[in-house]
C-alpha cells in the first residue's frame, strides 16, 4: 500500500506540469497567438524572463509532443526515487540551466522543455551510477536504451535546435546528481555488505540482536558513565 501511494504521489506534479504546458500551447493555437517572445534571449535584460518561461513554450505541437513523453517518464522517476529532493532537483535544473544558457548561448530565442529533458535524463543516469544501486542502475540503462540518441543533441549539427540548452541541461543534471548524492536509495553493495557482516556475526539479515536481560549484569544496576 505504501509503495502504491508513493507511486501515485510521483505522478501528481509531472502530470500537472504537462497539463500546464499543453494548456499554454492549446491557448496559443485557439487564440492564434505566439508566446515565443517570452523565450530566453541570451545576454539581453528582456531575455531574462525566458529563464522562467522558456520551458513552458513550444514552437508547435510536434515539438511539445516530442518533449512530453520523456519529460513525464523522467520526472516521475525523479519524484519516485528521490522524493525528498525532487522539487529541488526539478527547479534547480530548470533555473540554474536557464541562467547558464542566458549567459552562454548564441543570440536567439530559446524555447522548449528539451533542456529539462536532458537535465532529468542526466540526473537519473548519473545518480544510478554514483549510488551503485541495482534498481537505479536499471533505470539508468533504461534511459540509455530509450534516450541514448539524446547525446547527439548536445552538438551543433542543426542550428534550428537549441543544442546549448541540451548541453547545459545535461551538465546541470550531472551537477545535481553529485550535489544530491547522499539522497535517494542507498547503494545495493552497501546493503549486501551489511547483511554479510550480520551473517558472520551469527545473525540472519532480518534478525535483530537481543538485548541482554538485567539478570546478565551482576551487582549494581545503576548506570555507569
Q: How many CB atoms lie within 10 A of CB 17?
A: 19
- Do residues 87 and 121 lie in contact, with contact meaning Cβ atoms separated by under 8 Å? no
Q: What share of the chain is helix, strand, coil (3-state, %, to 5)?
A: 70, 0, 30
Nearest one of 165, 180, 70 to 123, comparing CA atoms:
180
* 3-state SS, one letter per residue, for 21-86: HHHHHHHHHHCCCCCHHHCECCCCHHHHHHHHHHHHCCCCHHHHHHHHHHHHHHHHHHHHHCHHHH
- Can you give the residue ranges of every domain in the chain? 2-179
Is the domain defined by 2-179 classed in CATH 2.60.120.10?
no
Helices 86-104, 61-81: crossing angle, 10 deg rounding: 140
Q: Please report the pLDDT score of residue 186 as a whole number.
A: 73
Task: Give the integer Cα–Cα distance in Å for 46 and 149.
Answer: 34
Q: Please report the pLDDT score of residue 199 as a whole number.
A: 56
Q: pLDDT tens digits for the chain (225 residues)? A: 788 899 999 999 999 999 999 999 999 999 999 999 999 999 999 999 999 999 999 999 999 999 999 999 999 999 999 999 999 999 999 999 999 999 999 999 999 999 999 999 999 999 988 888 888 888 888 887 877 788 888 888 888 899 999 999 999 999 999 999 988 777 665 544 555 555 556 555 454 444 444 444 444 433 322
Q: Please report the pLDDT score of residue 190 as a whole number.
A: 52
Q: What long-range pairs does 156-160 form, CB within 8 A, spacing at least 24?
A: none
pTM given for the model: 0.81
Amino acid at each position: 500500500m505504501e509503495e502504491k501511494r508513493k507511486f501515485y504521489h510521483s505522478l501528481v506534479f509531472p502530470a500537472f506540469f504537462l497539463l500546464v504546458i499543453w494548456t499554454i500551447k492549446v491557448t496559443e493555437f485557439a487564440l492564434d497567438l505566439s508566446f515565443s517572445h517570452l523565450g530566453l534571449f541570451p545576454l539581453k535584460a528582456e531575455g531574462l524572463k525566458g529563464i522562467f518561461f522558456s520551458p513552458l513554450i513550444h514552437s508547435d505541437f510536434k515539438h511539445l509532443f516530442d518533449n512530453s513523453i520523456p519529460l513525464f517518464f523522467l520526472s516521475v522517476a525523479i519524484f519516485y526515487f528521490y522524493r525528498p529532493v525532487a522539487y529541488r532537483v526539478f527547479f534547480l535544473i530548470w533555473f540554474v540551466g536557464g541562467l547558464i544558457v542566458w549567459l552562454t548561448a548564441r543570440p536567439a530565442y530559446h524555447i522548449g522543455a528539451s533542456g529539462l529533458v536532458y537535465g532529468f535524463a542526466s540526473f537519473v543516469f548519473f545518480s544510478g551510477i554514483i549510488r551503485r544501486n541495482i534498481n537505479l542502475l536499471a533505470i539508468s540503462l533504461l534511459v540509455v536504451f530509450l534516450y541514448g540518441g539524446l547525446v547527439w543533441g548536445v552538438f551543433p549539427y542543426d542550428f534550428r535546435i537549441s543544442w546549448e540548452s541540451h548541453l547545459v541541461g545535461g551538465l546541470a543534471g550531472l551537477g545535481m546528481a553529485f550535489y544530491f548524492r547522499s539522497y535517494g536509495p542507498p547503494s545495493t553493495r552497501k546493503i549486501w555488505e551489511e547483511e554479510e557482516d550480520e551473517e558472520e556475526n551469527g545473525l540472519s539479515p532480518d534478525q535483530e540482536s537481543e538485548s541482554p536481560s538485567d539478570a546478565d549484569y551482576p551487582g549494581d544496576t545503576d548506570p555507569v558513565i
